[in-house]
Structure 1
């Protein structure tokens, strides 16, 4: 039976990949986009076979009309409170009014449920929306993928190609970090959107690697031995993040303020996934750490 899936945030990198994966699985995919969306982005989706509808995102009634007869709404939105809380609430309300049975919120990150509120601004926004979502009758599934693996390309403290170094916080040299490629995340999300029995929370990771394991993979990929060292204690790291935030109030209006990037890194070294749902869908294959690192390290 053909499934009908509505995607919000379809013009973003992840949203576009989710649409691609859904279409490849035979789903009828509709993307709702803002009326001001770049026509070139709409054209990319249309060429995939996605039905693109321009919607007034301030109107729950318009959203409900678009959501009519859908089997699931997938949110791949990115933003601050006006998007993650306010806009997602309107999309959720529209879905409920239309009788949509399932909703996948934009929770593509580390599982924040057991983390301390206040330690991560963006997680707090998702936590606020989750509290609202769980008070509604719709069936929801959140996908927690840890960090997107692409961050390893950009000279973060955990892997700095320019300095040929690998850093860690606290006594976490052997602490496994959760990384998932965007392609793997999109493929898994498509499967969840088509799976009426999907649970409330699903943890995934393309690969789970410690700083020591990254060192070994980099050596195998390049023949080079990077410097591996402790960046600071976790307590000192948390203190420095709080100071950065206090010293940069303008960052409150930035999605990826420097201190917010530090908050994400801190979360990676304080929680990780114990049980993965990677094997839930047999058709999926997962990118390995070595395979991913070989794609960009020299």
Structure 2
């Protein structure tokens, strides 16, 4: 039986990958787009297995119409409160009204459930929406995957390639969970097709430490990469708070201080995954941290 999946945020990086993975199965995909955007039409209109539907998140009747007959909503939207809480809540309410059985929120992160209040804005927004989702009469599954492995080659300044250093905070032996976007998209598609999926599915393409990353870089380059202590997570958290107070725009999804907060959550161990089940959907050749770094270095 063909499963109808509506994807919100399909024109984004992760959302597009999720659509691609869904099309590897017996699915009918609906892509939700705003009335003011033609990006989805330009990208997906030529695929006869994809229906592009238009609705503003503020237009409840249009959202309900777009969701009619859908089996599962997959949200891959990205942003701050206006998106993660407000837009997703509008999507959730419309899904409930339309009788959609299942909802996958835009989590795709480390375990935000136990972080210290005030320590990570983006995680707390996800926790806030999760509370609304748990209170709704709909079956929900969150995909938790640690950090995106792809970030190690640029967006996350942990590996100082030119200086041959690997930064760490507090402990160089803290376990860090990483999964590539492609692997996250694959799991998300399988979760969408799994009517018995639990409330949370945890996966980690690789589990490493700063120490093991330094060793990997040394082996890949033939040049020693050394560990560099950058302070404690407490000091980094204080720096992030100062950065946030000085920031002119709290609506930016990934300012520098938010990056600091992510490292606090990871190196403190608060966001570490504790129930990883990589074999839930069968054996798979996960892309490791070494694979990503080797590709980046061209070795």
TM-score, scaled to structure 2:
0.94
Q: CA deviation at 1:161?
A: 1.3
Unaligned runs of 5+ in 2: none
**Residue 11 of structure 2 corresponds to residue 11 of structure 1:** yes
Greater Cα offset, 158-167 or 106-115: 158-167
The 5 A counterparts of 1:1-298 are 1-39=1-39, 41-48=40-47, 49-154=49-154, 156-170=156-170, 172-248=171-247, 250-271=248-269, 272-282=272-282, 284-297=284-297
Q: Structure 1: which 4+ aligned runs deviate by more than 4 Å? A: none
Greater Cα offset, 62-71 or 178-187: 62-71
Matches of 2:256 and 2:284 in 1, distance apart? 35
Aligned with 1:280: secondary structure?
A: coil
Kept after mapping to 2: 8 A contact 1:5/1:73: yes
Kept after mapping to 2: 8 A contact 1:142/1:202: yes
Matches of 1:143 and 1:163 in 2, distance apart? 35
Q: CA deviation at 1:114?
A: 0.8
Q: CA deviation at 1:45?
A: 2.4
Matches of 1:156 and 1:187 in 2, distance apart? 23
Matches of 2:169 and 2:221 in 1, distance apart? 25
Change in Cα spacing, 1:201 to 1:154, as seen in structure 2 (3 Å) is: same
Greater Cα offset, 156-165 or 221-230: 156-165
- The Cα offsets for residues 6-65 of structure 1, whole Å up to 9 and x where unpaired, read as 1100110101110110011121111011112234x4332234542111222211211111
Change in Cα spacing, 1:89 to 1:187, as seen in structure 2 (3 Å) is: same
Matches of 1:13 and 1:156 in 2, distance apart? 17
TM-score, scaled to structure 1:
0.95
Change in Cα spacing, 1:122 to 1:75, as seen in structure 2 (3 Å) is: same
Matches of 1:96 and 1:284 in 2, distance apart? 34
Change in Cα spacing, 1:256 to 1:108, as seen in structure 2 (3 Å) is: same
Greater Cα offset, 5-14 or 115-124: 115-124
Matches of 2:267 and 2:51 in 1, distance apart? 41
Kept after mapping to 2: 8 A contact 1:188/1:284: no
Matches of 2:46 and 2:225 in 1, distance apart? 44
Aligned with 2:230: secondary structure?
A: strand
Residue correspondences, number: 295
Instruction: Note the aligned Cα RMSD (angstroms).
Output: 1.4
Unaligned runs of 5+ in 1: none
Aligned with 2:44: secondary structure?
A: helix
Greater Cα offset, 43-52 or 145-154: 43-52
Q: CA deviation at 1:155?
A: 6.4
Aligned with 1:134: secondary structure?
A: helix
Matches of 1:28 and 1:130 in 2, distance apart? 26
